[in-house]
Amino acid sequence: MGRPRHRGLYERGPGHRAARRASGEHHASAEAARTRTGEAGNVAILSALTMVILLGLAGLVLDGGRLYAERQRLQEAADAAALAAAHDLPEDPGEARRQAYEYVAANGADPGRAEVAVSADGSRVTVRLKATVPMGLARVLGIEDVEVSAEAEAEVAGAVAVSGVQPFGVEEQPLQFGERYTLVLDRPGSPGNFHLLALGGRGAQQVRENILHGYPGWVRIGQEIETEPGHQTGAVTAYRERIEADPFSTHLDFPPDSPRLVIVPVVRGFDEAHGRDTVIVTGFAAFFLEEAREGDGQVVGRFIRYVVEGEAGPVTAETGVRVVRLVH
């Protein structure tokens, strides 16, 4: 029987190889676990960042809508304030500014953050508004609030074309605001031209319709208009009806739709007119009706300033009918 072999120091048996395999598998498992943990951490970080970005983008959309709505509100307030202020130009810039601030407040904007400026010639007024809008979801991006602004400019101009005028003309002459003027429309029993105009047709009935409702067409400066000669006692009666429809108003205090307010063409040529002739429109004037003297064929009105919707032109010192418009 031979001697058993002696295993040297560096010889490995089956048990050692198994232990080594187990040790390797343990290290591999631990490495895989560390990898999975790292990946999970990265995913969490990326998810958090993605959530922040998505919230920020959602905030930009939602808060952007709020900014747009607030700017629209400011723009409407600025437009209203500028248009209201322009009604007092060019005569009273101080009142124009006061009206602008009043309308800013009435439309929900902050007068303390408003700027109102009137041009040197007094024909334009500019209103600038600002507001600070606090953010919502956009705060996750570090945006706490945003300032929005709006600006409107309005101008006053003379009217060069108007609709709804009365069928009589005032002879071209210097007119003083606040003064009373006698408008001769008829002399019963006397032929001739008494400042009546044939607008949209001829005859007494057409004249009466235009008195009660205003001529629906447009009349412009430089236009030639046919006169309406002869007796028109019904014209004065129609104006009396307009006065009686609003008995308590005055030329200083009347509603915008008062029937006592009339817009008439200023004309040149009645002095030379014979029978059915033509006159030339040189402007427009506004009167507040105060008397209708049927026995004399006269209507008395007070010359006033008034703003209408119409076609705009240059402002002159004697212009009583004006157009106010936004300047874009």
CA–CA separation, 264 and 245 (whole Å): 19
Give me the residues paired with residue 324 across strands: 156
Burial 153-184 (b: 16+ CB within 10 A, else e): bbbbbbbbbbbbbbbbbbebeebeeeeebebb
Per-residue pLDDT of the chain (328 residues; tens, 9 = 90+): 455 544 444 445 555 454 455 455 545 455 544 555 555 555 566 665 665 555 555 556 676 778 889 999 999 999 999 999 999 999 899 999 999 999 999 999 999 999 999 999 999 999 999 999 987 766 666 778 889 999 999 999 989 999 999 999 999 989 999 999 988 766 555 456 778 999 999 998 999 999 999 999 999 999 999 999 876 668 889 999 999 999 999 999 999 899 999 999 999 998 888 888 999 999 999 999 999 998 888 899 999 999 998 888 876 545 679 999 999 7
Report the helix count and the strand count for the chain, using DSSP H and E: 4, 13
Question: For 84-116, b where at least 16 C-beta lie within 10 A, e where not — what string?
Answer: bbbbbbbeebeebbebbbebbeebebeeeebeb
Tokens 């002159």 label which residue? 316
pLDDT at residue 75, as a whole number? 97
Closest CA to 326 of 126, 145, 137, 184: 126
The type of residue at 269 is G
The ranges assigned to domains in the chain are: 44-155, 164-326
Within 13 A of 32's CA, how many CA atoms are on the CB side? 6
Instruction: Measure CA of the first residue to CA of the last residue in the chain; give whole Å.
Output: 121
Query: How confident is the model at residue 154, as a pLDDT?
Result: 97
Tokens encoding 187:
């002399």
